[in-house]
């Protein structure tokens, strides 16, 4: 559907075909269908929060700072981001420190 001439009242990024905000239930259904279409094993779960958690961890591993990540995820503080940091392994931080070290880039 083309939203060009439609007056949008929501600021959400993901909308349904008719321009309405997607509910959590709808997103879960979409992800479940995508998992089946991708022929993912039944043991693999992909609820929205798991994908969000993966996104956050991947961004941290790639060097995004916690403040920017917190803003991207819509958090009011960085407190929640500490949960994502706790699940990363020490070697992730060592590799990240090597790649972002200003002395290594002289």
Q: Are residues 16 and 3 in the same domain?
A: yes
Alpha carbon distances (Å) from 78 to 36, 67, 72, 84, 93: 35, 6, 11, 10, 18
- The answer on pLDDT for 89 being more than 80 is no
Q: Would you say the pTM of this structure is higher than 0.85?
A: no
Residues 12 and 52 in one domain: no
Give residue 57's domain range.
47-105
Check pLDDT > 80 for residue 98: no
My answer on whether 51 and 100 are in the same domain is yes
d(CA 95, CA 29): 37
Q: Tens digits of per-residue pLDDT, 41-87?
A: 777 777 777 788 888 888 888 888 888 888 888 888 888 777 777 77
């Amino acid at each position: 559907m083309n939203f060009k001439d439609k007056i949008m009242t929501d600021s959400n990024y993901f909308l349904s075909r008719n321009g309405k905000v997607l509910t959590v239930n709808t997103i879960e259904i979409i992800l479940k269908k995508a998992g089946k279409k991708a022929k993912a094993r039944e043991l693999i779960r992909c609820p929205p929060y798991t994908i969000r958690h993966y996104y956050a961890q991947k961004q941290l591993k790639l060097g995004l700072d916690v403040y920017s990540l917190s803003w991207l995820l819509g958090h009011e503080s960085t407190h929640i981001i500490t949960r994502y940091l706790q699940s990363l392994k020490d070697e992730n931080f060592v590799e990240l420190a090597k790649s972002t070290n200003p002395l290594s880039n002289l």
